[in-house]
Protein backbone atom coordinates (compact mmCIF):
# COMPACT_ATOMS: atom_id res chain seq x y z
CA UNK A 1 0.00 0.00 0.00
CA UNK A 2 2.87 2.41 0.75
CA UNK A 3 4.22 1.89 -2.76
CA UNK A 4 0.88 2.88 -4.24
CA UNK A 5 0.68 5.95 -2.00
CA UNK A 6 4.17 6.99 -3.08
CA UNK A 7 3.29 6.44 -6.70
CA UNK A 8 0.13 8.51 -6.45
CA UNK A 9 1.99 11.27 -4.62
CA UNK A 10 4.61 11.36 -7.36
CA UNK A 11 1.92 11.64 -10.03
CA UNK A 12 0.17 14.44 -8.13
CA UNK A 13 3.46 16.30 -7.75
CA UNK A 14 4.16 16.14 -11.46
CA UNK A 15 0.75 17.57 -12.25
CA UNK A 16 1.98 20.93 -10.99
CA UNK A 17 4.96 22.33 -12.83
CA UNK A 18 5.70 25.93 -11.94
CA UNK A 19 4.92 28.27 -14.79
CA UNK A 20 6.66 31.61 -14.75
CA UNK A 21 4.84 34.81 -15.51
CA UNK A 22 4.84 35.87 -19.16
CA UNK A 23 7.26 38.73 -18.44
CA UNK A 24 9.92 36.30 -17.26
CA UNK A 25 11.57 35.57 -20.57
CA UNK A 26 15.24 35.39 -19.66
CA UNK A 27 17.19 32.53 -21.20
CA UNK A 28 18.05 31.26 -17.72
CA UNK A 29 14.39 31.15 -16.71
CA UNK A 30 13.30 29.47 -19.93
CA UNK A 31 16.02 26.81 -19.59
CA UNK A 32 15.11 26.21 -15.95
CA UNK A 33 11.44 25.73 -16.84
CA UNK A 34 12.31 23.38 -19.71
CA UNK A 35 14.51 21.30 -17.41
CA UNK A 36 11.80 21.16 -14.75
CA UNK A 37 9.23 20.04 -17.34
CA UNK A 38 11.58 17.28 -18.52
CA UNK A 39 12.11 16.20 -14.91
CA UNK A 40 8.35 16.19 -14.33
CA UNK A 41 7.87 13.89 -17.32
CA UNK A 42 10.63 11.59 -16.04
CA UNK A 43 9.03 11.50 -12.59
CA UNK A 44 5.59 10.78 -14.04
CA UNK A 45 7.02 7.96 -16.15
CA UNK A 46 8.84 6.45 -13.16
CA UNK A 47 5.66 6.69 -11.08
CA UNK A 48 3.69 4.92 -13.82
CA UNK A 49 6.28 2.12 -13.88
CA UNK A 50 6.02 1.75 -10.10
CA UNK A 51 2.23 1.70 -10.30
CA UNK A 52 2.34 -0.94 -13.04
CA UNK A 53 4.70 -3.09 -10.98
CA UNK A 54 2.52 -2.87 -7.88
CA UNK A 55 -0.66 -3.49 -9.84
CA UNK A 56 0.74 -6.80 -11.16
CA UNK A 57 0.69 -8.14 -7.60
CA UNK A 58 3.67 -10.35 -8.42
CA UNK A 59 4.71 -11.12 -4.88
CA UNK A 60 8.14 -12.28 -6.08
CA UNK A 61 8.87 -8.67 -7.13
CA UNK A 62 8.81 -6.02 -4.41
CA UNK A 63 9.13 -3.22 -7.00
CA UNK A 64 12.18 -1.82 -5.21
CA UNK A 65 14.00 -0.87 -8.42
CA UNK A 66 10.93 1.02 -9.64
CA UNK A 67 10.59 2.71 -6.26
CA UNK A 68 14.28 3.72 -6.39
CA UNK A 69 13.66 5.24 -9.83
CA UNK A 70 10.74 7.27 -8.44
CA UNK A 71 12.84 8.52 -5.52
CA UNK A 72 15.68 9.53 -7.83
CA UNK A 73 13.33 11.27 -10.27
CA UNK A 74 11.61 13.06 -7.38
CA UNK A 75 14.96 14.33 -6.09
CA UNK A 76 15.87 15.63 -9.55
CA UNK A 77 12.46 17.28 -9.94
CA UNK A 78 12.66 18.92 -6.53
CA UNK A 79 16.10 20.35 -7.34
CA UNK A 80 14.99 21.66 -10.73
CA UNK A 81 11.82 23.25 -9.34
CA UNK A 82 14.05 25.17 -6.93
CA UNK A 83 16.08 26.29 -9.96
CA UNK A 84 12.90 27.65 -11.56
CA UNK A 85 12.12 29.59 -8.41
CA UNK A 86 15.54 31.23 -8.35
CA UNK A 87 15.96 31.72 -12.11
CA UNK A 88 12.53 33.21 -12.72
CA UNK A 89 12.29 35.74 -9.91
Tens digit of each residue's pLDDT (9 = 90 or more) over 65-77: 999 999 999 999 9
Q: Give the domain extent around 42.
A: 2-10+24-87
- CA 83 to chain centroid: 14
50, part of any domain: yes
Q: Per-residue confidence at 2, pLDDT binned at 50, 70, 90?
A: low
Do the beta carbons of residue 83 and residue 35 sit within 8 Å? yes
Residue 48 has pLDDT above 70, yes or no: yes
What's the pTM value of the predicted model, to 2 decimals? 0.71
17, part of any domain: no
| Cα–Cα dist 61/66, whole Å | 10
Domains contained in the chain, number: 1
73, part of any domain: yes
Average pLDDT, the chain: 83
40, part of any domain: yes
Do the beta carbons of residue 66 and residue 49 sit within 8 Å? yes
Q: What is the pLDDT of residue 25?
A: 79
Q: What is the pLDDT of residue 4?
A: 59
Amino acid sequence: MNILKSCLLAIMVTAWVPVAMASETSDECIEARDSARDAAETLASAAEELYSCAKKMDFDDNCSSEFDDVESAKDDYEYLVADVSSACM
